[in-house]
């Protein structure tokens, strides 16, 4: 369970005009990227209620374990990316580039969080849940951050699978197994990631260019990236309907997904339309980025509500 698909580097923008006194506890929390993890936890907990009727104790354990695992992955990500964080405007105030913490301290904190999370989930929930959460950690750290982020414009597409592990973690915590519905939830987050993150990449091209991270707009160009966002949104819409076709969810989820998908497609098409006529596209792009955060949270909440009412 990690933070890659849910904007691994966003939500942590520095605020140079706001003076904040140095604090070790504040820095440790910032290493975990709590605003990013909040969305990851929604995509973990909602599937638990879609899968069954979990006890509050199980929900609490998965919430704590999931936060620790994702937070540990985010901390290790900051350790690995400490060189480029120092040259990107929105990341240079993080604990390592600012000099408030050493790389060794950050790495130790990240590994300790992941280790504690693995033990907690395996001991108090089940081994499958712990294994899936740890797999997300390794995928984020090694596949995305180490292998893909600085080498391929496909970094967020393939690496985005790390952010799709939380629904599997939540499902396994309740059922002790995985099925086709769980796979659909994985695919929803997987195909949601490109339009969400590329919207951010379009807005932050200068930062990524300065850090020499080959994000899609820098390699493919802005127009091609926008076209790719449209196609991934089409696939995402199809994937969100799949659980309804084999009876996993009912009309409440279906109605919610239709509305949410319609707004998302409208937003993505507005970006492309503005670019084609030479109009400013930063406004609709920023709207899509912010909306996709709300979109994913509401879609997963609709799953839980649908199962609670129609079960």
As a whole number of angstroms, the distance between CA 4 and CA 80 comes to: 14
**Do the domain assignments include residue 107?**
yes
Identify each DSSP E strand in 67-198 by its residue range.
none
Q: Is residue 38 part of a domain?
A: yes
Query: Rounded to an integer, what distance in angstroms lies between the CA atom of residue 242 and that of residue 97?
Result: 44
CA distance 307 to 304: 5
Residue 16: per-residue pLDDT: 43
The answer to whether residues 226 and 270 touch, using CB atoms and an 8 Å cutoff, is: no
Q: How far apart are CA 218 and CA 155, in angstroms?
A: 13
Q: What is the pLDDT of residue 2?
A: 64
Instruction: Provide the pLDDT for residue 5.
Output: 46
Q: Domain count of the chain?
A: 1
Nearest to 40 by CA among 3, 11, 74: 3
pLDDT at 93: 83
| Domain enclosing residue 191, as ranges | 24-310
Give the separation between CA 229 and CA 288, rounded to whole angstroms: 11
Residue 3 has a pLDDT of 55
pLDDT of residue 15: 42
Write the CATH number for 299. 1.10.600
* Residue 2 lies inside a defined structural domain of this protein: no
Residue 219 lies in a domain: yes
First-residue to last-residue Cα distance in the chain = 27
Determine contact, residues 217/205, Cβ cutoff 8 Å.
Answer: yes
**How many angstroms from the chain centroid is the CA of residue 201?**
14
pLDDT score for 17: 43
Instruction: Please indicate, yes or no, if residue 41 is contained in any of the structural domains.
Output: yes
So what's the pLDDT on residue 250? 95
Angle of helix 251-276 relative to helix 180-203, nearest 10 degrees?
30
Is the residue at 13 inside a domain?
A: no
Predicted pLDDT of residue 36? 85
Which residues of the chain, if any, have pLDDT below 70?
A: 1-22
Query: 277: which residues sit within 8 A by CB, 6+ positions away?
Result: none
Task: Report how far residue 48's alpha carbon sits from residue 52's, in angstroms, rounded to the nearest whole number.
Answer: 6
Q: Is residue 242 part of a domain?
A: yes
Look at residue 21 in the predicted model and tell me its pLDDT. 60
Q: What is the reported pLDDT for 13?
A: 42
Structure tokens at 105: 């301290």
Q: What percent of the chain has pLDDT over 70?
A: 93
Task: Confirm whether 270 is domain-assigned.
Answer: yes
> Considering Cα of 255, then 257, then 259, then 261, what sign does the dihedral take?
negative
């Amino acid at each position: 369970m990690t933070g890659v698909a849910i904007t691994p580097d966003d939500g942590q923008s520095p605020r140079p005009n706001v003076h904040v006194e140095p604090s070790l506890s504040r820095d440790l929390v910032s290493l975990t990227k709590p605003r990013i993890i909040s969305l990851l936890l929604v995509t973990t907990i909602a599937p638990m209620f879609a899968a069954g009727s979990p006890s509050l104790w199980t929900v609490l354990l998965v919430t704590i374990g999931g936060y620790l695992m994702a937070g540990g992955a985010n901390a290790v990500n900051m350790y690995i990316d400490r060189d480029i964080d120092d040259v990107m405007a929105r990341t240079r105030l993080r604990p390592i580039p600012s000099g408030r913490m050493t790389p060794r301290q950050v790495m130790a904190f990240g590994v300790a969080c992941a280790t504690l999370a693995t033990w907690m989930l395996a001991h108090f929930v089940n081994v499958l849940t712990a294994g899936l959460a740890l797999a997300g950690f390794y995928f984020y750290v090694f596949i995305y951050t180490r292998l893909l982020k600085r080498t391929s414009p496909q970094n967020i597409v393939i690496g985005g699978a790390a952010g799709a592990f939380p629904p599997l973690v939540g499902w396994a915590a309740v059922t002790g197994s995985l099925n086709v519905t769980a796979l659909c939830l994985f695919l929803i987050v997987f195909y949601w990631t490109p339009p969400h993150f590329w919207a951010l990449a379009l807005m932050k091209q200068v930062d990524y260019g300065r850090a020499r991270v080959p994000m899609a707009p820098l390699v493919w160009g802005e127009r091609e990236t926008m076209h790719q966002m449209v196609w991934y949104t089409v696939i995402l819409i199809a994937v969100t309907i799949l659980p309804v076709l084999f009876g996993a969810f009912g009309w409440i989820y279906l109605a919610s997904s239709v509305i949410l998908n319609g707004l998302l497609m409208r937003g993505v098409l507005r970006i492309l339309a503005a670019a084609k006529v030479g109009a400013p596209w930063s406004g609709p792009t920023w709207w899509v980025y912010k909306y996709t955060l709300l979109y994913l949270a509401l879609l997963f909440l609709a799953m839980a509500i649908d199962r609670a009412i129609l079960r």
